Amino acid sequence: MNALTVLNPQDQFKAPTPDELFNLPPIIPGVDWFTKPVLLALLSAVIVIGFFWAAFASPKIVPRGVQNAAEVGYMFVRDQVARPFLGKDADRWMGLLLSLFFLVFAWNIMGVIPFAQFPVASHIAFPAVLAISIYVLKVYLGVRHQGPIGYFKNMMFPPGLPKPIYILLSPIEFLSNLIIAPFTHAVRLFANMFAGHMLLAFFSMVGFWFLFEHLTPLGAPIGVIGVVMTIIFTAFEMFIQFLQAFLFAMLASMYIGGSLHAEH
């Protein structure tokens, strides 16, 4: 079963497989690394940079046009992502969090942009590399601000618990904070984008198959349902794409905040 299966003149509808959807061939034959997700990842970076360059290259006291729009984004990240977890340190980390949020958002929204139609973050490598960066930053900040011993002590021995319990709970804290958390950080984003793309692809293929490739009186209503569901799920996906970008940045902010100040 490979990418050619869909094109085979068969009378039966075939649901798209993850392999067909996510294992994309190189755009230029022979240049293995240059695939669609790589192109879109770079394109997203260019778009984000271009957008903020247009908005903030020479900002005005009285904003207009693009600056207005970008300021709304900046305010959103500052008030919803940075300040709740970083308080007065928020402004120092805004550069990181704003870049993170908008890059992930651009990567995600590529899933519903016509012709692109592939959420970059549905390839685990992209969320993983960001999550690893945040993880390294988190441990570095924790060691620097709480001391190498203090950081692990504060993490594994939260105050206010009965002493014997620590033997049972400290391993959980350790595993949760240092291994599971970065993993879920990346996987949450990846899995949402992966599943969302699968759903969208499935419904759009249903519509395409039953209305264009294999139009029959019986199949037509199913095709219409497929198209309607595609539209509904496109709207839903846009919301999920935004939400996951927000969550990814928010968790990064939470980790940074937790490393700057010991948990209470």
Partner 1 sequence: MSEQERRPEDDGQDFASAAWSIPSYLLAGMAIYGGGGWLLDRWLDTSAFFPIGIVLGIVLSVYLVYRKYGR
Partner 2 sequence: MTTAATLLASEEGANPLIPHTYELVVGIFAFAVVFFVVGRMLVPRIQKTLAERTDAIEGGIKRAEEAQAEAQALQQQYRDQLAEARQDAARLREEAREQAAQIKAELREEAQAEARRLIEAAHAQIEADRQQAFTQLRAEIGRLSTDLAGRIVGEALEDEARRRRTVDRFLDELESSSAQAVR
User: Which residues contact partner 1 (rule: CB under 8 A)?
Assistant: 83-85, 87, 158, 160-161, 165, 168-169, 171-177, 179-181, 184, 247, 250-251, 254, 257-258, 263
Contact 194, 160 (CB under 8 A): no
Smallest distance from partner 1 to CB 147, Å: 21
Smallest distance from partner 1 to CB 264, Å: 9
Angle among Cα 249, 250, 252 to the nearest 5 degrees reads 65
Nearer to partner 1, 41 or 251 (CB): 251
Smallest distance from partner 2 to CB 23, Å: 5
Nearer to partner 2, 10 or 23 (CB): 23
Q: Give the one entry of partner 1, partner 2, none that residue 5 binds, where binding means its C-beta sits below a cut-off of 5 to 8 angstroms depending on kind.
A: none
Q: Length of the chain, please?
A: 264
Nearer to partner 2, 19 or 263 (CB): 19
Contact 137, 59 (CB under 8 A): no
Nearer to partner 1, 194 or 233 (CB): 194
Smallest distance from partner 2 to CB 172, Å: 24
Binding site for partner 2 (CB under 8 A): 1-2, 17-19, 22-23, 25-26, 32-33, 35, 37-38, 41-42, 44-45, 48-49, 52-53, 55-61, 70-71, 74, 91, 94-96, 98-100, 102-103, 123-126, 128-130, 133, 187, 194
Q: Give the one entry of partner 1, partner 2, none that residue 35 binds, where binding means its C-beta sits below a cut-off of 5 to 8 angstroms depending on kind.
A: partner 2
Nearer to partner 1, 139 or 201 (CB): 139
Smallest distance from partner 1 to CB 74, Å: 15
Nearer to partner 1, 21 or 141 (CB): 141
124-145 exposure pattern, b = at least 16 Cβ within 10 A, e = fewer:
bebbbebbeebbebbbebbeee
Smallest distance from partner 2 to CB 142, Å: 20
Q: Give the one entry of partner 1, partner 2, none that residue 158 binds, where binding means its C-beta sits below a cut-off of 5 to 8 angstroms depending on kind.
A: partner 1
- What distances in angstroms separate CA 157 from CA 8, 147, 178, 193, 249, one per listed residue? 61, 15, 14, 36, 27
Contact 53, 45 (CB under 8 A): no
Q: Give the one entry of partner 1, partner 2, none that residue 70 binds, where binding means its C-beta sits below a cut-off of 5 to 8 angstroms depending on kind.
A: partner 2
First to last CA, the chain: 54
Q: Give the one entry of partner 2, partner 1, none that residue 180 binds, where binding means its C-beta sits below a cut-off of 5 to 8 angstroms depending on kind.
A: partner 1
